[in-house]
Structure 1
Amino acid sequence: MNYQLIAIQIGDLLKWDTSVNEIDRIARAIFNFDASRFPNDSITSVRAQRIYDWIMTLAAKKMNNDERHMLLVRFCKELAGDKYADQVVKILEKNGLPYNIVYKDELNDFLNRGFHEEVHKHSRRLFLQGNYFHAVFEAAKAYNRAVKDKSRSEKDGFQLMMDVFNSSSGVLKVTKCETETDRNVQDGIKFLSAGLMQAIRNPTAHEPAVMWPITKQDCLDILSFISFLFRQLDKATYYANEREA
């Protein structure tokens, strides 16, 4: 782990958008020690030097490496704010900071939802990077593909869901469709799946991300919804219709 390079790069990134007082205020709220001096002739900014001093002091302290890394991430993210958060994360990742520590808070938010394995596969990395728009889009596309594969249908999107989950003629059954309740549940999954295509997949496929923003909370909620549908699909049984028989 190259703390010196991290300290130089973080200082260079943030030197124009902070002050020495702000750097010290954030550092003292996070660390239980004072900064030592680490003169570096290549650093010409007082603010960049102050960031360098704090990070190098942290690097020199005797403590568990995971604790040190977590303090570094917290300090850098607090300094960066929303404006530079993505760039700070890239610097930390590029310089070898463990993935699970760089994204510790985001990872906990993601894992605590208990998402379906397909949502993990297609959306985890995007979510951790803060790319909520594409995290949702990829999960919705994956669900559409999974339904197509299991139903052996050439249809797509809204019409696919309305066709294959139909309680009378559909080839995918999540219930036996024998009672009114069975049929209601079956049609409910049909409409929920079709709604996912209309309300989520289609807008993310056709609208620019800046025109259709998705918040972190909305992303988590939508991914939970898609996880629910994936689990219903897992339970669904394929029945060949008369045209295929």
Structure 2
Amino acid sequence: MGSAVSEAFKSLEVRVRKLSGLDQSGASLMTTAFAAKSPILDVATEDGRSAQDEREGFMALFRGAMIGIRNPKAHELFREEDPQQALEYLAFASLLHRRIDLSGSSN
């Protein structure tokens, strides 16, 4: 399941890069693509101040996914993971992909 988790987060990065048109990677890509005040991909579902808070929170989640999940998986040898943790990571990647769907962007 480790390779499935790695691929899920790599696909997230590739999708954000493609949809945003940015030539960045990792945390810097997520910071620019989901910027709270001027997002390229707007994942907010609320209005006003709540929308800005939501954008900032999801930007942090996208950045955190790159720093805390994708980076270690991309730079280390394969390790067998706890199946429950792998499922949780896959669910998190799915949540982030779904938020991109809400941005009005496709694929």
Question: Percent same amino acid among aligned pairs?
Answer: 31
Matched, 1:189 2:79: no
Q: 1:226 maps to which residue?
A: 93
The structure whose Rg is larger is 1
- Give matches, 1:150-229, under 5 Å: 150-175=19-44, 178-210=47-79, 213-229=80-96
In structure 2, C-alpha distance between the alignment counterparts of 1:178 and 1:156, rounded to whole Å: 29
Aligned to 1:52: none
Q: Say if 1:175 and 1:183, in contact at 8 Å, map to a contact too.
A: yes
Q: Following TM superposition, where does structure 1 have runs of at least 4 consecutive aligned residues deviating by more than 3 angstroms?
A: none
Q: Structure 2 matches for 1:100-179, cutoff 5 A?
A: 132-175=1-44, 178-179=47-48
User: Structure 1: which amino acid aligns with 2:96?
Assistant: L
Shift of 1:177: 7.2
Q: 2:58 and 2:52 mapped to 1: Cα distance?
A: 10
In the alignment, the residues of structure 2 paired with residue 205 and residue 179 of structure 1 have an alpha-carbon distance, to the nearest angstrom, of 37
Q: Secondary structure at the match of 2:53?
A: helix
Separation in 1, partners of 2:3, 2:91:
15
TM-aligned CA distance change 1:232 to 1:166, over 3 Å: same
Residue 170 of structure 1, CA deviation? 2.1
Q: In structure 2, how many angstroms separate the alpha carbons of the residues matched to 1:139 and 1:176? A: 24
Look up the equivalent residue of 1:204 and give its one-letter code.
K
Q: Distance in 2 between matches of 1:237 and 1:151?
A: 12
Separation of aligned partners in 2, 1:220 and 1:208: 20
Residues 37-116 of structure 1 correspond to what in structure 2 (within 5 A)?
none
Output the amino acid matched with 1:161. M
Aligned residues: 105
Shift of 1:169: 2.4
Residue type of the partner of 1:189? F
Q: What's the TM-score, normalizing by structure 2? A: 0.90
Distance, in Å, in 2 between the alignment partners of 1:156 and 1:177 is: 27
Q: CA deviation at 1:237?
A: 3.7
- SS of 1:184 mapped into structure 2: helix
| Matched-pair contact (CA < 8 Å) for 1:175–1:182 | yes
Mapped partners of 2:46, 2:56: distance in 1: 9
Residue identity opposite 2:78 in structure 1: A
> Normalising by structure 1, what TM-score?
0.41
**CA drift at 1:145:** 0.5
More relative contact order, 1 or 2 (CA 8 Å, 6+ apart): 2
